[in-house]
Amino acid sequence: MIKILLADDHFLVLDGLEVLLSTFEFVEKTRSALNFVQLKDILKEESFDVLLLDIHFGKHDGREIIGEIKKKAPDMKVIALTSHSDSTTIKSSINAGFDGYLLKIDSRKDIEKALKAVINNEKYFSPKTQQLFFEVSASKNKVKLTEREKEILQLIVQENTTKEIAEQLCLSEKTIETHRANIMLKLDVKNIAGMVKKAIMQGLTEV
């Protein structure tokens, strides 16, 4: 049985969470705080196992106050429960020390999993959070090739030789070799096998 503290500056959110959490058999008690002052006062009075904290908690940023919260309650796990799904907010929250990250659009099942995970000293990030974070991260890290480089890369993946590619594109073999070297440099690989593998992983080819 665990005790959960809720911190959000919206009455409707708190009411909804309290009703939801009351349906979990392993939740003994919930209590709510509408602002940081209330949150600190409650922590002086009582200990909790988990805190569900909104990233933008009224006038305060959860990433800035989590350090103070953890000093007051070092054994309490803190999960971000927010509507912010951008990769910058997710990454900065992880770095700030949150034990988990949930979106307000996440399901009942996700919340239940998150609570059980952090109590067992595991980190938890909901599937939606992971998907959004890694999709944006991948797009930011994706290599940008010119149209000609993409064309040559596609032909390389199709196992065409330098001579065959040159003939198909009406270019010299030396030009093809130069483009190939530039592609390898951009992909940060040392050989053709590595280039093909990384290109396919990053979705740079049709194959």
Which amino acid would we find at residue 115? L
Which amino acid would we find at residue 110? D
pLDDT at 174: 92
pLDDT at 58: 87
d(CA 109, CA 98): 20
d(CA 158, CA 129): 36
Q: Is 80 left (phi over 0), alpha (psi -120 to 50) or beta?
A: beta
For each of the chain's 207 residues, which pLDDT tens digit applies?
A: 999 999 999 999 999 999 999 999 999 999 999 999 999 999 999 999 999 999 999 899 999 999 999 999 999 999 999 988 877 788 888 888 899 999 988 999 999 999 999 999 998 988 888 776 665 555 555 677 888 998 999 999 888 999 999 999 999 999 999 999 889 888 888 888 888 887 876 677 654
3-state secondary structure 54-83: CCEECCEEHHHHHHHHHHHCCCCEEEEEEC
Beta-carbon-side half-sphere exposure of residue 151 (alpha carbons within 13 Å): 11
Give the position of tokens 């030009």.
175
Q: Give the chain's domains with CATH numbers.
A: 2-139 (3.40.50.2300), 147-201 (1.10.10.10)
pLDDT at 207: 43
CA gyration radius for the chain?
A: 25
Tokens read off for 193 = 């096998």
pTM over 0.95: no
